Amino acid sequence: MVRINPLKKRLDAGKPGAGVLITMPSVNMAQILAGAGFDYLFIDLEHGSIDASSVYNLITATAGTECAPLVRIPKPELALCKPALDAGAMGLIFPMICTREEAEATVQCINYPPEGTRGWGPFYAPTRWGLKTPLEYFEVANRELLNIILIEHIDAIENIDSILSVPGIHVANIAPMDLAVSMGLPGQRDHPDVLKAIERAEKAILASPVVLGGMSLSAAEANAKIARGYRFLLMGYDVMLIQQISAQLLDGIDR
């Protein structure tokens, strides 16, 4: 079987994939990060200044690399999902999935019939995927696209088993910051109650066929998570990287 999605190939082989979130509609930034060796770019349509018109350019900027372009969609609605998929996204990321019904909606949006209700229109996706015709793309899309949900609310923790029972979910990524906010603990991702909720989600995900994902803001944190069974690792975001490097360069200058 030819695997077209390099990130799905890694995850299916049990290997970890490390990526970075981008909030800026910058083709240059996307090219640099894709070429730096990240396994995926998390293109964010929920926050930041990226809009639908720039998603195509950011997806195209990953061409020629082993970096899979993923797009976070504000919510699982067909009208929001189709432009990103038809531009060549290799997966969609859905925030705030808190119920089984919401998880089922993601499956419907990302897949062509009979598994889903995605409409026909892959005019640009085949080129990004290295295919010649839309029909070739249609034949592999349902198999190769990644469906990634974010577990980022205490309601999702309460409903975790029913969410994970939905066929067609590939990755469940635990987002501690929003989870902490939903628990009335903003900014406290290491609070004991937040950690307890995360542990509950981890156990459920690891006991399912779904890949466990989460945030890792350092190599040490990533390695610790890999040892615990994480395979989808989010290593930060573009603004944070620029701020950190800028601070390092300026630190210690006598001025």
Residues with catalytic roles: 47
108-113: long-range pairs with CB below 8 Å, 24+: 108/76, 108/78, 109/73, 109/76, 109/77, 109/78, 109/81, 110/81, 110/85, 110/145, 110/147, 110/168, 111/141, 111/142, 111/145, 111/168, 112/138, 112/141, 112/142
Taking the C-alpha atoms of residue 125 and residue 91, their distance in angstroms, rounded to an integer, is 12
Taking the C-alpha atoms of residue 187 and residue 105, their distance in angstroms, rounded to an integer, is 30
CB 130 within 8 A of CB 187: no
Name the token pair of 34.
Answer: 């894709």
Q: Nearest to residue 92, comparing CAs of 112, 80, 216, 4? A: 80
Identify the bridge partners of residue 212 per DSSP, sorted by sequence position: 172
Burial group, residue 215, by CB count within 10 angstroms (0-12, 13-18, 19+): buried
